[in-house]
Chains A and B, each alone.
Chain A
Amino acid sequence: MMEFDIQGGDFLNAGESSGVIKEYMKRIGLPHPFIRRVLIAAYEAELNVVAHAQKGTLHFTMEEQRVIITVKDTGPGIPDVERAMQKGFSTASSEVREMGFGAGMGLPNMKQNSDTLTINTEVGKGTEVIMEFML
């Protein structure tokens, strides 16, 4: 298992974990399309923390037949998960949009790339996103 800290607002370092995870998955010989799916979903999840929360963590767990990515934050929580899952719905700031994000594709893209996506969230407390990738 690997754990990485995520700092809210730190867009410059967002996705630093993906480099480490990528190297690990390559080294143990996982197929390229699988690695790509994990990296895209993990980066999207991490970006959400950077864009909306103060801080968070990303856990990477490798099991025999699956990878699990858990991203937890102490952010504002998601008041309406169903709405947040809709394509094009975004609450990202203009700063985030200027960087090229905030198209409201993050959660749909995480769902698209993972085999299961679980969102546990409480307004005012934070959000936990668990994604499972089957080999």
Chain B
Amino acid sequence: MKLSEIVKLIDGVILAGEEKSNEDFTSAYSADLLSDVLALTKGHTLLITGTVSPQVIKVSEILGITAVIFIRGKMPSGEVLEAAKKKLDIPLIFTKKTMFETSGILYQNNVKPCENMPADEV
């Protein structure tokens, strides 16, 4: 699914990485807990999260996250956005929609769960 379509369907705002509007995103993971993102995702994925701490950027850098959608009206601070622009070359999107709705819209449009493992198998 193209980034521009995702943004349109979730009434999103692109905070960074607009030049990647035409890129295709095929897998996603939704979580607020960065511990889970670090431990349970495998391979590259788009991240849907309500966590806006600076550590989101670090975790994205380490894992090679392809894009971040900040949900339920959680806006990262200017400091976090600056760090993201400096260290990551990925789109950041903001939406007022919930994690459930955002995930549902992407799923309906053929974005699949990223390769991952359940916590009880770590």
Contact = CB atoms under 8 A, between A and B. Distances in A.
Contacts of A64: none
Interface bracket on B:
20 to 34
A105 to B, nearest CB: 4
Contact of B63 (A19, A36, A88, A108): A36
A112 B58 contact: no
Given A36-B64, A102-B35, A109 B58 contact: no
A99 B38 CA distance: 13
A93 B53 CA distance: 15
A15 interface: yes
Interface residues of A, number: 26
A112 B39 contact: yes
B63 A100 contact: no
Interface in B16-64: 32-40, 49, 51, 53-56, 58-59, 61-64
Majority SS at the chain B contact face:
helix
A14 B55 CA distance: 8
A130 B67 CA distance: 32
Nearest to B52: A100
Interface stretch (A39-47, A54-62, A65-73, A120-128): A39-47
Contacts, number: 74
Contacts of B63: 36, 40
Contacts of A101: 33-35, 55
Nearest to A99: B53
Contacts of A19: 61, 87
A83 interface: no
17 contacts: A11-B53, A14-B58, A15-B58, A36-B64, A43-B59, A99-B53, A100-B33, A100-B35, A100-B37, A100-B56, A101-B55, A105-B40, A105-B122, A106-B35, A109-B35, A109-B39, A112-B39
A-B pairs with the 9 shortest C-beta distances?
A103-B35, A100-B34, A109-B39, A100-B51, A99-B53, A105-B39, A15-B58, A105-B35, A39-B62
Interface of A: 11-12, 14-15, 18-19, 22, 36, 39-40, 43-44, 87-88, 98-106, 108-109, 112
